[in-house]
Structures are given as C-alpha cells and as structure tokens.
Structure 1
C-alpha cells in the first residue's frame, strides 16, 4: 500500500519534470564568445509581464513608477508620478539598472518615439534653450545640469511638454 501511494504521488511529479526538461534546443540559448553583451528584454515573458517587471525594478531603484495598464489590448506604461521632482541621477541610474527588463517596443512605436524625441529637442532649442541635445539612437535625451540651469529652460519645457502632448507624428512614423 505504501509503495502504491508513493508511486501515485511521484508519478505526476516525474511527468511534469520530464516535460519541463524535454524542450527542444534550437541553439539560440547557447553562450558564445561572439555573442552580444548588451542586455535585452526577456523574450519568454508576455509584453505585460515584461512591463510589470520593468516597473518593479524602477521602483526598487527609487523611481515611483506604477505597474502598467492594459487598455484596449495594449500595454501602456503609466507615468503616474511627477518627473520634475525626480532626481535626474536617480532616474538615470534606475534606467541603467533596469535596462534588461525594459519592454521591447514594437518597431512602429519606436519610430514614433524617436520622432517625438527629435521634435521635443527642436522645440526646446526654438524656445531659447540653445544647448538642448538631440536624442540618441534609442530616443533618449541626456540633458546636462548646465542645460537645465538655462534661464529659458523651465518655460521652454512647460511649453514643449504641452506641444508634444498634442503633436501628431508624420505618416511615415505612424504604426500600421
């Protein structure tokens, strides 16, 4: 009786373990010297799970970012906090620490993000902040403390923030 009970209890565990270990190996997970050292989003997680992991990491590093919301089937990262009160060094450090969890943006949205970042830079310069930099290839803008001290910065930022909220990307940038 005891052996039968043991077999009945261990058989499902053995089957689950065997199924978990029997994944086919396509070779993509093999480490190599020629591989990229750049962190990337975890492809096995859903878009929502990836966004939740990123938000949690950001909170662990001092950025009060709420979990993302699903709206009409799309995962949206919410601001939910005043970016003006966040220490830029804390934000930059958190972003660097959590880069590996950052959700992968669909190609069309990446183009829109890049256009919005370029437009924001252009707007800031047009409104008196001559040293405002262009975004990098990933649409991040690294604004130095010297640029933030520009007397026109606060006024230009307020104007450009509202302008970008109403800005409509070009037809080439709009995802299909």
Structure 2
C-alpha cells in the first residue's frame, strides 16, 4: 500500500506537467497587461545599415535612383542620388512611401562624435581643394555629381579619411579604460 502511495505521489506531478504542456494556448487571453496593445515591429531589431539598405531599395522602387548606403569604418551614410534626375513630385512621393524604413536620427554622445567628425571631414576636404564640399546634414552628406569629379577629390578624400580615422581613434576610450 505504501509503495502504491509513493508511486501515485511521484507520478501525479509528472502527469500534471505533461497535461499542461499539451494544453491549447490561449494566445495571451486573460494575461494581465498595462492596458496597451503591443504590435510587433520587425524594424526595431534591424541595424542602421539594414534599414538604410531597405530604404534605398524602396526609394528605387518608387522612381528615385538612390545608391545603397555607404559604410566608412563605423559610419553608415544614407545612399545618394542626383536630385536633378528626379522630379520633385516623384521625390516627395517616394520619401512618403519609404519613411517607415528610414532609421531614427541618432542621438547621444556617439552621434555627437560622428557629427563632429563629419564636420571636420568636410572642412578638411574644402581646405584641400574641394571647395564646394558641403557640410553634413542630419541625413548624411549628399555629394553632387560635380564634387566627385573635382580633380583634388580623391587625394583630399584619402588625406581627410586618414585624419578622421586618427581623430576617431584618439577620442575613443582604450580597452582598459573605465567610464
């Protein structure tokens, strides 16, 4: 008798766990919430590069010949296009259709560092012969076709990229540093 009691007591929890595991899901019905409804958002887990790549693809699908984003070290810049090759209406319609794919504006110390390095890079380009090189804007610098054709462009870009990379490396904390 005692043996049967021990077997029943040991098997009962196992049977309950098995029954619970095989029961139908209620998909969260009856689960407490804070009153909001959570809608899944696939874009939250995508990187800035992934979002900008999808944004560029969307813009192309809507008639704007945007290039894929550019990656330069840790900096990811939005793709570019020649604004003269697209009508203003097409551009506005494409921007509206694709705005859900544009990543949010970066903020904080890391974004401030990137913005300062971009301003220094633009200044360096102008100082080294590319007089019309624009200052960066929040969406990334858009270089017109004529700027890339400047005879000093390639040499200035190589020099200014090296200066920017050195400045960026000196501004980052070393591996052993603590905050």
SS at match of 1:160: helix
**What RMSD over aligned residues (CA atoms) do the two structures have, in Å?**
4.8
Structure 2: segments with no counterpart, 5+ residues: 1-18, 58-66, 83-90, 174-178
The list of structure 1 runs, each at least 4 consecutive aligned residues, that deviate by more than 6 angstroms after superposition, is: 7-10, 76-79
Between structure 1 and structure 2, the one with the greater Rg is 2
Higher helix share: 2
Counterpart in 1 of 2:6?
A: none
When the two structures are superposed, what TM-score results if normalisation uses the length of structure 1? Answer: 0.51
Matches within 5 A, 1:1-176: 11-14=23-26, 16-18=27-29, 23-25=33-35, 45=44, 49-51=45-47, 54-55=49-50, 58=53, 61=57, 63=68, 88-89=80-81, 97=98, 100=101, 102=103, 105-136=106-137, 138=138, 140-168=140-168
Distance 1:64 1:147 in 2: 18
1:77 and 1:157, CA in 2 relative to 1: closer, same or farther beyond 3 A? closer
1:44 and 1:160, CA in 2 relative to 1: closer, same or farther beyond 3 A? closer
User: Residue deviations 1:27-70, cap 9 Å, x none?
Assistant: 999xxxxxxxxxxxx6994xxx2317x5276168374889xxxx
Count of paired positions: 130
When the two structures are superposed, what TM-score results if normalisation uses the length of structure 2? Answer: 0.50
Contact kept, 8 Å, 2:135 with 2:141, in 1: the verdict is: yes
Contact kept, 8 Å, 1:132 with 1:143, in 2: the verdict is: yes
Between 1 and 2, higher relative CO (CA 8 Å, sep ≥ 6) is seen in: 1
Structure 1: segments with no counterpart, 5+ residues: 1-6, 30-41, 67-75
